[in-house]
Chains A and B, each alone.
Chain A
């Protein structure tokens, strides 16, 4: 399969510099290996470290155990697309989207959206697990990828997602998405959606 890639820039927190990274439109074996051999041990260590300090709240069971199988099984389906960001030879973020879902905001109800099934940052980029975090912009760039895909497919930038509780503020305030509230069909995760105008706004350089 052919993979497309684009040059993007992550912000390295320690040096306060931009570093060149790659956005790719596929999650391949390298990503699955990085997830297994680097993300998981780091995630587990960080969580236990925080627990020992008594700071980690109890969260729900992850469905990660079958995630690798799921990624393999969707490879051949047109309905799904995957993306990753790599930097310094390591996977920094991953995303999987579904192209078959429809918008819920009244003004665009029923129109197709790029729905983000899954988006995850590498543990060392997550401030709650690793302070200071290593890189910023992983989430922002993956959301950008979703918007660009939406535009390329004729969906005009419309996207939707169910945010994890700790990420609600990012999608509401930093991405400027509309919060449609908790969704009882998705373990009460809050559903966020972006309109064409919000997508256009996201792609602009934010004013100071």
Chain B
């Protein structure tokens, strides 16, 4: 947990723009946004691997749409 490693990230304009937008919306710096994304990605993968499915549910219609993962 204590050791930190540095990585250089090459992003397209669109990706950087998305990152900046998320950073503002979530009140996080860009590094924190990416670390959060990594957490979520790993967690979702682990749960799908364990046999669970991820859905979006419409608040109004209560319809479910599965989020497909490879």
Contacts and interface: CB of A to CB of B under 8 A. Distances in A.
Q: Which applies to chain A's interface (DSSP): helix, strand, loop or mixed?
A: loop
Nearest to B25: A110
A99 B39 contact: yes
A79 B29 CA distance: 18
Interface in B30-48: 31-32, 35-36, 38-40, 42-43, 46
How many chain B residues sit at the interface, stated as a range, is: 10 to 19
Given A2-B1, A112-B36, A153-B32, A78 B43 contact: yes
The interface centre, meaning the residue of A1, A79, A153 with most chain B CB atoms within 10 A of its CB, is A79
Contacts, number: 46
How many chain A residues sit at the interface, stated as a range, is: 10 to 19
A79 B39 contact: yes
Contacts of A110: 25-26
A100 interface: yes
Interface string B28-69: 110110011011101100100000000000000000000000
A79 B28 contact: no
A77 interface: yes
A78 B38 contact: yes
A78 B42 contact: yes
A155 B28 contact: yes
Nearest to B2: A2
Contact of B26 (A3, A76, A112): A112
Interface of B: 1-3, 25-29, 31-32, 35-36, 38-40, 42-43, 46
